[in-house]
């Protein structure tokens, strides 16, 4: 193959992706003087990556298979805009050998490995066969081409349960299932294949022994077209949920210097087996004693920023320079490890509802400044819509410090100072995770989050004195601002009256809990707040995103968002959602009963798992929805009879639509 066609200098780069990674690539490309082209679906017309790029091309409808997974439309977008190169980002087609080959055939530089390298290493099955031949230790498993149920069942039985069934082509936990008994195998394979096909367009499965209490360690590698291949130290990604990484850090706090050199040498050997060119990651699993190769990701990883922060290397810049045909600028012994970095993935999801994705428009987006070792890679802004069609990741928050403890403290401070509204996010969950004592002492494994979920998703504490006073102050500040156009408005003195001392009563509640009351005294003299028998003098000073509240001489910083009668407050005690009870009455609320089997979010019905008339136990699966490329199974809320199914496979359903009717058994 003519290397001049594979690697050459270019001026215009098309980014075949969306969200945070598209924004990330655009920033480095533009800093290098390149012209950038974004692509987008109909759901992403107003997306951040579209606004950042020099040009943008509409690919098609919202579904990924009609837009971001459509190779022909991506190649045509490059042709239309004069793009000479394509960066695939991660996810979507980033590890698709057919796409890499299509780019080459169209005369485009593909910023990544060749199709041949992808076929050898990008396939989990193919890479395992290659590593087995090279003598790299593997987790016991099956990675053959035969995919019939009998073959897979026989392989699973030979390996011994528990096993892991996972998609050969993908990542991010999609198309992956833990199977603990033979009876669970067939439905797990069907579900994993369906999910993998939807996410990656490939449903080839492999089976491997599930390592109990494992740790996930991976090594960043990068090679150029001149025969240079480097490892950039390792990362640890043990904190996972549903096989999807949540927290990543570099270097691994588990390895000592000798172990680090051993695993990095193994990674270079693995990548060298195919003369690898481009950025990639060699992934390993450890049982506490041995380290086994599990797969190679032939692309940039979501967690690449932690490697960048400990090495001072911009991996996207190096990817582009390799694509230019340049040699890597450093040798192996010139790469230095400096400090520690930790990354948290911020998702639009509700941890208290089994991490159900959250969709809607972001009404408030307040993240701290990138300073003091804090870095934020975001793909969304205030006003952006989070759709049900794609991965739910909004941003990544990364902190660097000289030591692990300080890096964790910096990251947690950044999380605590973040306020995102309009959708539900996992930010409080991430903060709880980073402050967990076992995370601080590195006493974890990949099952840690599931075991500690009840602790990590504890309900917010009840609002106390500080929060009730802050709620009143937030309302008064909001009223002041509303009257701000009138410079002499008497409302600037908290409810002006011509003479005497007056009162104003407030009532708040959390959810459907009891009302909590507080009284404002104002008029002549200082204003005070009365809670029960306590009367507190207070003042407020407005600032961006909230105010400083001084109660009896103690100043506290408060973040506040008011949406009608709904108040969001962040104080030193945590985050609080309060409802301001309408002082004039007239409130009405309607709750869906627990027995309503409705779509929790917009999605596609991908499986109906029970028949009308069937007797169901509580928790029995009824149907499966695909939401944000992940499958959600809806289950019977109680024992009963399935009276009706009001949807069929392939239906696209909106949030709140009733999908099934279960009649209680009466037992």
Catalytic residue annotation:
299
- What tokens appear for 552 in the block? 């009896």
CB under 8 Å to 191, separation ≥6 — which residues? 177, 607, 624, 631
3-state secondary structure at position 82: coil
The burial of 290, by beta-carbon neighbours within 10 Å (0-12 exposed, 13-18 middle, 19 or more buried), is given as: exposed
Q: With contact defined as beta carbons under 8 Å apart, do 47 and 384 qualify?
A: yes
Please state, in angstroms and as integers, the Cα–Cα distance from residue 214 to each residue in 137, 239, 258, 446, 537, following that order: 16, 10, 20, 6, 55
Buried b or exposed e, range 387-404, using 16+ CB within 10 angstroms: bbbbbbbbbbbbbbbeeb
* Distance of alpha carbon 415 from the chain centroid: 14
- What tokens appear for 287 in the block? 């049982």
CB under 8 Å to 180, separation ≥6 — which residues? 161, 162
How many CB atoms are located within 10 Å of the residue 558 CB? Answer: 23
Please state, in angstroms and as integers, the Cα–Cα distance from residue 523 to each residue in 47, 296, 492, following that order: 49, 70, 11
- Residue with tokens 């480095």, as numbered in its chain: 28
DSSP state letter for 138: B
3-state secondary structure at position 27: helix
**d(Cα 25, Cα 13) in Å, to the nearest integer?**
10
Query: β-strand 35-41 against 12-15: which pairing, if any?
Result: parallel
Q: With contact defined as beta carbons under 8 Å apart, do 624 and 647 qualify?
A: no
**d(Cα 252, Cα 623) in Å, to the nearest integer?**
41
DSSP 185-232: HHHHHHHHHHHHHHHHS---EEEEEPPSS-EEEEEEEEE-TTS-EEEE
**d(Cα 444, Cα 209) in Å, to the nearest integer?**
20
């Amino acid at each position: 193959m003519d290397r001049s066609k594979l690697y050459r200098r270019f001026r215009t780069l098309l980014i075949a992706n969306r969200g945070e990674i598209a924004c990330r690539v655009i920033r480095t490309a533009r800093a290098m003087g390149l012209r950038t082209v974004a692509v987008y679906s109909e759901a992403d017309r107003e997306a951040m990556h579209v606004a950042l790029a020099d040009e943008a091309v509409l690919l098609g409808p919202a579904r990924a298979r009609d837009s971001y997974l459509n190779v022909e439309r991506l190649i045509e977008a490059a042709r239309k805009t004069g793009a000479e190169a394509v960066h695939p980002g991660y996810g979507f087609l980033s590890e698709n050998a057919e796409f890499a080959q299509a780019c080459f055939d169209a005369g485009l530089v593909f910023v990544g490995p060749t199709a041949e390298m992808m076929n050898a290493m990008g396939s989990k099955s193919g890479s395992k066969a290659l590593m087995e031949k090279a003598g790299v230790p593997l987790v016991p498993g099956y990675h053959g081409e035969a995919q019939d149920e009998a073959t897979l069942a026989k392989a699973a039985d030979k390996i011994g349960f528990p096993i892991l069934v996972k998609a050969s082509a993908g990542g991010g936990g999609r198309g992956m299932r833990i199977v603990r008994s033979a009876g669970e195998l067939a439905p797990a394979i069907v579900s994993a294949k369906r999910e993998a096909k939807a996410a990656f367009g490939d449903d080839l499965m492999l089976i491997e022994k599930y390592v109990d209490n494992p740790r996930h360690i991976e090594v960043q590698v990068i090679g150029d077209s001149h025969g240079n291949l480097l490892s950039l130290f390792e990362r640890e990604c043990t904190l996972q949920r549903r096989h999807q990484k949540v927290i990543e850090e570099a270097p691994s706090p588990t390895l000592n210097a000798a172990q680090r050199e051993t695993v990095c040498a193994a990674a270079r050997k693995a990548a060298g087996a195919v003369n690898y060119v481009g950025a990639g990651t060699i992934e390993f699993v450890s049982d506490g004693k041995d380290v086994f190769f599990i797969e190679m990701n032939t692309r940039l990883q979501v967690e690449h920023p932690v490697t960048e922060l400990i090495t001072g290397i911009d991996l996207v810049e190096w990817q582009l320079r390799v694509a230019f045909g340049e040699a890597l600028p450093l040798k192996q012994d010139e790469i230095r490890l400096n400090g520690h970095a930790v990354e948290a993935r911020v998702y639009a999801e509700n941890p208290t509802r089994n991490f159900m994705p959250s969709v809607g428009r972001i009404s408030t987006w307040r993240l701290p400044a990138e300073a003091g070792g804090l870095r934020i890679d975001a793909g969304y802004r205030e006003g952006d819509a989070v759709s049900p069609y794609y991965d739910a990741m909004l941003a990544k928050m990364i902190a660097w410090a000289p030591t692990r403890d300080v890096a964790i403290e910096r990251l947690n401070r950044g999380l605590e100072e973040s306020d995102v509204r309009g959708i539900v996010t996992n930010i409080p969950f991430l903060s709880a995770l980073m402050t967990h004592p076992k995370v601080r002492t590195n006493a974890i494994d990949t099952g840690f989050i599931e075991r500690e979920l009840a602790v990590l998703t504890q309900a917010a504490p009840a609002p106390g004195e500080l929060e009730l006073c802050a709620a009143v102050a937030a309302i008064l500040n909001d009223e002041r601002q509303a009257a701000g156009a009138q410079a002499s408005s008497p409302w600037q003195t908290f409810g002006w009256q011509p003479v005497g001392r007056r009162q104003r009563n407030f009532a708040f509640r959390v959810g459907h809990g009891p009302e909590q009351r507080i009284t404002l005294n104002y008029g002549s003299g200082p204003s005070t707040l009365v809670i029960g028998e306590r009367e507190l003098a207070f003042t407020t000073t407005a600032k961006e995103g909230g105010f400083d509240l001084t109660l009896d001489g103690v100043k506290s910083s408060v973040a506040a968002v008011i949406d009608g009668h709904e108040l969001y407050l962040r104080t030193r005690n945590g985050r609080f959602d309060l409802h301001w009870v309408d002082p004039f009455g007239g409130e009405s609320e309607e709750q869906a009963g627990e027995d309503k089997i409705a779509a929790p979010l917009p999605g596609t019905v991908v499986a109906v798992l029970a028949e009308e008339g069937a007797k169901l136990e509580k928790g029995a699966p009824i149907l499966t929805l695909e939401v944000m490329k992940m499958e959600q199974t809806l289950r019977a809320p109680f024992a009963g009879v399935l009276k009706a199914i009001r949807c069929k496979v392939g239906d696209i359903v909106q949030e709140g639509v009733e999908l099934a009717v279960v009649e209680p058994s009466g037992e």
